[in-house]
Amino acid sequence: MKLRLLDPAAQELDEAITYYNAQAGGLGDAFLLETLRAFGLIRQYPQGWHPVDGEIRRCRLSRFPYGVIYSPEPDEILVIAIAHLHRRPAYWTGRLIGDG
């Protein structure tokens, strides 16, 4: 199944990679690999995580305090946020309005 990131989610992913690479060489790459692994699991098992808001679900990363917030749609999986789990919970809730 196709996986699509909203622009703000793609920006969050880029910012987290940049941040972790600044902390230690290769750490941002490790973050990206773990996020891509989560994307693969979400594609394989889109209903595999408990809903956090309606049909919106969260897949937590193992090594990093982040979660992939996504909505399984009929023809794609929509990634709403790459959310740091210790900051501003549910800040992403308005992102589906206007799909932006």
pLDDT tens figures, 76-91: 999 999 999 998 878 8
Is residue 100 predicted with pLDDT exceeding 70? Answer: no
Strand partners, 84: 66
**Does residue 98 belong to any structural domain of this protein?**
no
pLDDT tens figures, 14-30: 999 999 999 999 999 99
- Number of Cβ within 10 Å of residue 83's Cβ equals 23
The pLDDT of residue 99: 54
**Does residue 66 belong to any structural domain of this protein?**
yes
Query: What are 43-50's contacts with CB under 8 Å, separation 24+?
Result: 43/1, 43/3, 43/77, 46/1, 46/70, 46/72, 46/77, 47/72
**Does residue 97 belong to any structural domain of this protein?**
no
**Does residue 33 belong to any structural domain of this protein?**
yes
pTM for this one? 0.91
**Does residue 81 belong to any structural domain of this protein?**
yes
Expressed as residue numbers, the domain containing 53 is 3-91
Please count the structural domains in the chain.
1
**Does residue 63 belong to any structural domain of this protein?**
yes
Q: Which two tokens stand for residue 33?
A: 């690999």
The pLDDT of residue 97: 62
CATH at residue 43: 3.30.2310.20
**Does residue 100 belong to any structural domain of this protein?**
no
Is residue 71 predicted with pLDDT exceeding 60? Answer: yes
